[in-house]
Amino acid sequence: MSDDRLIVALDVPNVVTGLELCAKLNPTVDFYKIGLGMLTGGGLALANELKQEHGKRIFLDMKFFDIGATVEAAVRGIAQYDFDFLTVHGDPHVVRAAGEGKAGSDLKILAVTILTSLDRADLDAGLIKAGDIQDLVVERAAKALEAGADGVIASPQEAALIRALPQAKGRLIVTPGVRPAGADLGDQKRVATPRDALTDGADYIVVGRPIWQASDPAAAARSILASIKDVKRNA
């Protein structure tokens, strides 16, 4: 049983640990996320090995943010590896530059709206404009999609609102901050269960610690897959 709507976050220290975890999860899991925390532990090499040698789908979570020329060059370099998803910050100039960088490839650019570990108090501390956090996420998502993003990263609590946007037609919504019922929330503040996230409009869910910290990671993944098996894919 596998379902590529489940993306497992490989938030582990290095390539060796990552490969050991993937071996435990094979063939249950087909899609993996590798982020900045793994970059100095050989994350790019691991992503390439999983893609090229094991046929896995890869979500590279780099959250690029810089001047346009730098973002364009960075994305052009990533695009040569044939990965599936890449994150950039949702500022329109960043999204447009990423679109230029990925030109000619099948790489999907996903725009980060507001991190799922943040709440209104965090936004206030960061001098982000006033307003309800859901409204800001939806506004940011709309602008990123208008700038050419293939999809957005948003918490499951905003998935339905984003899915309702005209700009979201045919685009992807990928939700971190997903926790099975009863799981420890960790540093996530805006969460939902896997089933609820997909029902509310997400195309893919990202789950990390509830799987890789489990005594039996494959069983944890299978439990999540069982909970979503009858949820229809979003059009």
Q: Which residues are catalytic?
A: 63
Concatenating the DSSP letter of every residue in the chain gives ---TTEEEE--SSSHHHHHHHHHHHTTT--EEEEEGGGGGGTHHHHHHHHHHTT--EEEEEEEE-S-HHHHHHHHHHHHTT--SEEEEE--HHHHHHHHHHTTTS-PEEEEE-S-TT--HHHHHHTTPPSS-HHHHHHHHHHHHHHTT-SEEE--GGGHHHHHTSGGGTT-EEEE--B--TT---TT-SS-B-HHHHHHTT-SEEEE-HHHHTSSSHHHHHHHHHHHHTTSPPP-
153: Cα within 13 Å, side-chain hemisphere: 29
- 58-72 core/surface letters (b: 16 or more CB in 10 A; e: else): bbbbbbbeeebeebb
3-state SS assignment for residue 213: coil
Q: Longest C-alpha distance within the chain, in Å? A: 48
